[in-house]
Amino acid sequence: MVRKTLWSLMLLTVTVYAVAQSAQDVKTSDSLVTAFVAKTRIPGLSVSISQKGKIVFSKGYGFSDVEKKVPVKPGKTKFRIGSVSKTLTASGLALLYESGKVDLDAPIQQYVPSWPDKGSTLTLRMLAGHLAGIRHYRGNEFYSSTKYETVTEGLDIFINDALINKPGSEYRYSSYGWNLISVAMENAARPKDFLTLIQQDVFKALKMKNTEADHADRKIKNRSVFFLMGNNGPEEAPYVDNSYKWAGGGFVGTTEDLCRFGQAHMKAGFLKQATLDEWMKSQKTSAGNDTNYGIGWRTFKRPSGNTFVGHSGGSVGGVTYFLMHVPTETVLAITGNMSPLNYAGLQFQLMEMFID
């Protein structure tokens, strides 16, 4: 694909969707994000913050489509949310767990009979906590343009590879482990396939009307154009097809939908409190060391003393952070349409401004 430098076409736009708790919150937050957008030259960015079920700050900056000058709208513009997809998938796994359809500690072959014996027992709990010894991306796999028709086909990428360590012994991040989880979920949820399960039982149930699978070969309303930072500024990203990793990094969505998702996971309701506690608490290695990662949920411990749970997500043409502060029932979602992108702590700075 021919890449075209687009920075020269950009104009900064801001769309305001809600009034924050105070005029100072609005002014300070907007100034911080505006300066970040100018410094990084990101084409489009969205930030939404909610507290106790209400949006308190939600703004779009720049463009989802630079050439057509389509402004970012936090409630409509769909960004690639990358590995935040794992947290959404974990919610679907929790529903199956609560209905008794999956056992987190059963051998994976109970749900995926085609998974070969590699000399060690793998479980859904290990896979969901990156403790199963499954490898991560290799070579140019992150830029895959291959269409995979089913989640089972996605196993072909790594099913014959050796484990990289003894399951349970160490934390080694792996999006492919979530491929295996998605096949297990699909088999346990029959006749629903994996995407139907997530779309109906999670997104639709939580009124996340603008979150869905990032089908590269389909026209998706309000999906952003995606960019990479080139030598001369942002350039349109190459074509990629994320069907090889739906569960671990294949969804697009809005920051306001992520706030809605977060608010539904603050306390019992959509899920039981015992399930929320189990999913968000850190797992441990076989040696007893905390991993700061539960079942699709990461723990972020800050120098301020605050602790957040959520996830980050990197995609081709997108970087996202999703954070929750449970004591104050505050959620932040920030996502942009360019990679690489380093938020340099902006996500935590904004979050702590609102919880304080």
> How many beta carbons lie within 10 A of that of residue 312, not counting itself?
17
Bridge-based pairing of strands 70-71 and 318-325 is: unpaired
- At 34-85, the pLDDT tens digits run 999 999 999 999 999 999 999 999 999 999 999 999 999 999 999 999 999 9
Compute the average pLDDT of residues 240-268.
98
**Among all chains, which residue has been given the structure tokens 């360019």?**
338
**Which candidate, 197, 207, 213, places its Cα nearest to that of 97?**
197
Is residue 126 very low, low, confident or very high in pLDDT (cuts 50, 70, 90)? very high
Q: Helix, strand, coil proportions of the chain in percent (round to 5)? A: 30, 20, 45
Q: Which tokens hold the place of 316? A: 């081709």
CB 262 within 8 A of CB 334: no
Q: What is the pLDDT of residue 123?
A: 98
CATH superfamily membership of 24-328: DD-peptidase/beta-lactamase superfamily (3.40.710.10)
Q: What is the pLDDT of residue 26?
A: 73
**Among all chains, which residue has been given the structure tokens 């690639």?**
80
Q: What is the pLDDT of residue 11?
A: 27
**Among all chains, which residue has been given the structure tokens 């015992």?**
274
For residues 91 and 248, what is the distance between their CA atoms, to the nearest angstrom?
13
Neighbouring residues of 232: CB distance < 8 A, sequence distance ≥ 6:
5, 7
Cis status, amide bond into 167, omega within 30 of 0? no
For residues 6 and 227, what is the distance between their CA atoms, to the nearest angstrom?
9
- At 80-125, the pLDDT tens digits run 999 999 999 999 999 999 999 999 999 999 999 999 999 999 999 9
For residues 43 and 61, what is the distance between their CA atoms, to the nearest angstrom?
8
Q: In angstroms, what CA-CA distances link 5 with 41, 128, 315?
A: 12, 39, 20
Q: What is the pLDDT of residue 217?
A: 96
For residues 72 and 43, what is the distance between their CA atoms, to the nearest angstrom?
9
In three-state secondary structure terms, 17 is strand
pTM: 0.93
Residue 333's Cβ-side half-sphere holds a number of Cα atoms within 13 Å equal to 29
**Which candidate, 130, 141, 115, 140, places its Cα nearest to that of 164?**
130
Q: What is the mean pLDDT of the chain?
A: 93
Neighbouring residues of 103: CB distance < 8 A, sequence distance ≥ 6:
110, 124
- At 227-250, the pLDDT tens digits run 999 999 999 999 999 999 999 999
For the chain, what are the domain ranges? 24-328
- At 187-219, the pLDDT tens digits run 999 999 999 999 999 999 999 999 999 999 999
CA 342, 202, 146, 136: dihedral to nearest 10 degrees?
50
